[in-house]
Structure 1
Amino acid sequence: MARDPHKYFRIEARELLTQFGAVVLELERDGNSGGQVQRLLRLAHTLKGAARVVKEPNIADRAHAIEDVLVPFREMSGDIPRECVDAVLNSLDEIDGRIRELAPAPDGTPVVQSAALPTEDIRTVRADIAEMDAVLDGVTEAHTILNGLRLAPRKLEQAQHLTALLLDQLAPRGARESYSPAFAGQKTAYATAQDLRKGLNGVRSHLGLAIDQMDRELNQLRDVAEQLRLVSADSLFVSLERTVRDTGRSLDKKVAFEGTGGDIRLDAHVLGLVQGALVQVLRNAVAHGIEPAGERQAAGKTVEGLVTLNVSRRGRQIVFTCRDDGRGVDLEAVQRVASRRGILDSRTKSYGAEELLRVLMRGGISTSDTVTEVSGRGIGLDVVREAIEQLGGEVVIRNQAGKGVTFELIVPLSVASLEVLVVEVSGNIVTIPIDAVRTAIRVMANDISWGSDGGSLLYDKVAIPFISLPRALFGTRSPAGRAWSALVVAASGSLAAIGVDRLLDTARVVVRPLPEFVPAHGMIAGASLDAEGNPQLVLDPDGVVAKASHGFTADLEPNSPARPILVVDDSLTTRMLEQSILESAGYDVDLATSGEEGLERARHKRYALILVDVEMPGMDGFTFIQQIRSDPALHDIPAILVTSRAEPEDVQRGLDVRAQGYIVKSEFDQAKLIAMIRPLTG
């Protein structure tokens, strides 16, 4: 604290200034209709008190001055005089300037600000990025160590089994043995072994709980650190609205600003560079695009101009789209100025719109007749281009004469936070942005039509392309006749259905670009890390829909009848789970709720395999298998027991009745189940 006494004050003051700016602009726009003045007075009081604590009288005085301006309007409703709003904003600017001066220079070296781009800060950055990266690295390392500890309970389990064997060896075999001379020592050893078993049980239980708790805590820490590493796009909106407001005020134009897509969270470094470019684009839109009130009325437009900013994700890119409803770019004026300055050949009578817009982006051209604080010097758009190119992106301009200009600042995805749907594909965890998923449906084999151009199915009475994600991503061919969990994905104005093995969950993940040495894949936008630091693919909806549109003509294995499997279990949940897994693997599944019903079904239909529970009303699973083994028509059907009973004697009994497999429900694993079934069904 002694080295930087203002560290926490700067954080608090920046947050207060962000709130201040938003409420002041709301006050100017809507008047004191919702208690805006009272909210501003509370903010000013909080800032004044914090400034006095850290002995910053200048900031405290400016906050007090804001109170003096606003107090007369506390109980009033309606509009606030414009000069009062200006006075509050000017005081905020002075406070902001003082807060900048409080920032310590690294290593005593003064910070040099670029003269090309505006220097507005992203005021919601709360943590140092390098520190957050160090925290994330530490969490990953801790998870690696924790994964090593997960082997310990298994070792303890082995020790428990050995203790059980020891107890069995030491246990008295009868009354005669109790009177043998060696019995006293054996009794002591037996008691010691019992204590050992009890101790091992306690250690295993407590260790397992501790590992699970550490895992939850580390996951929570990772989530918090990753979110602090990122900044939501709406942190730009207040300062950008202020830019539009002040530029319009200086040019005597009334202009409104609207921002959307602010929930997208991005790397702070990217957002910082883009912010400067956006300020320049918005100033340019107000200065050159939005017409004076009289000209707008003559054109049949509202007196108030409109400038909008939308932030969106487009595959592996983030797009900042700025639009205005002004007059558009005067292409004739651009050609005239460019020809006069020798940038274009004056002998050419006409250039295309695209070429003229590219010339405009180079800089050195201004169509303004006068030089003001915001236009006329011929700089600005070249600065925008250079800032975006620094991020490896591009700038796209679309011009509509008399209707306005659209700027798209397109930057590659570095780090972003997205809501995703988590699915399983060929044993791998894959995610897809949830805003691109229209719905999830269950698709049977006969719902899909295959042709020379790939697969398709009907969705909302319209045929859309279908693609098997296991095939598209990993080259895994799927058995003919299998059922699918399918996602209907919307992107680029089109729909496609993608088949996956299982739907798992929804989550918010931090998406990172793939390493440079990883070959590019059109369907993959990047990767995220799971709780243990393992990479998971994040799909690009545009790439997925494009791939599905091209299709696969040989998506399935050669057609063969689906192998029938009978599931016998009294639990609805277990039956539905096993049916879903088996049908996804291409099997034809029948269900029975009891051993008696299972036997009846098995006698009327030949099954490739039977999955049976042990504990059921009436006939249990052991008896069921004994019955089919004694039936000449059924004795060779493979059977697997799926049960919650895990005692060694139960496993042995399963072997005794000649079950081909024994699966404990608490250790249930889909991949292991399929791996066990495949060789048994042929």
Structure 2
Amino acid sequence: EAVDRLSGRGIGLSVVAEVARSLRGAASLRPRFPWGAEVEIAVPFSAARQPLLLVEAAGQSYGLPSHGVERLLRLPAAALETVEGQPVLRIETEGRDVIAPVMALPVLLGEPATPIPVEAGHVKAVLLKSGDRRCAVAVDALHDLRELAVEALALPGVDPSLVTGVAQPEGALPALVLSPEGLVGRWLRDAGQLAGAGLGLAAAPQSRPAATILVVDDSITTRTLEKSILEAQGFRVLLSVDGLDALNLLRAGDAPVDLVVADVEMPRMDGFGLLQALKTDPRLAAIPVILMTSRADPEDVRRGLELGAGAYITKQKFDQRELLATIGQML
């Protein structure tokens, strides 16, 4: 009859079912005896979703998984240089100058005579990265970034190391999904001499200790999810079950903490109380705090920011890219 710590607002599983159906699957909820409930979600293996950058080259649409895209470029054609007959560009990345090869995307897909497309004196390109190697593929058009279902593709004559599947954007033609690692690997094989000379190779960045982030949440599910996301980005992660536990850990000083990500609704001491205690302690006041909670009322947001939170993120609109971008700005 009311929302409490166990009963929700009745929309979460509806969203799950809607997403499952959009992937040509289904979700079911049934009682589990002698107590509890059981949720079963079934989707086809072919329904794996990926964030894809959609581009167009030589009349064909392609999708590039975002994990292999380092930068989008629009540069004057006159800015391209030549190294042993290969067009290259100079670009600053990770604080260092890198010379990266530039070629039309179809060249890496088996059309060696394809020229670099130039429009209004400019070249549109995607800077791909695989390990320490980079190369820029020139395209006719850069569209948008979408999260799409990627289906397996098995066609004669298609190199599976380059083309990993096909996606169907709504209202558009099917897009072949390419492997950034496979494209860079094809360039390395075909231009071994230039690659051996260091073309497309970035100098190793100066190593620095990984930042330590304290995650404070009374939900073990949320703590585990945030921990896995942050550790995948190289952060060291500490966990606390509520505000009081976190405050004791920070005051002990056994493990220096660079940033705190805290829930608001917690037993013993909530996120607002933790934030207020940190900002009034001279030793801890400089630690940036991100509040991430389901409380999205404007009054709660205003209160959190007035108490000194560096950011206020609502769980209803949680996007791990937003969380990571916010952390990057605050560290």
TM-score, normalised to structure 2, is: 0.49
Structure that is richer in strand per residue:
2
Q: Which has the higher contact order (CA 8 A, sep 6+)?
A: 2
Give the greater-gyration-radius structure (CA). 1
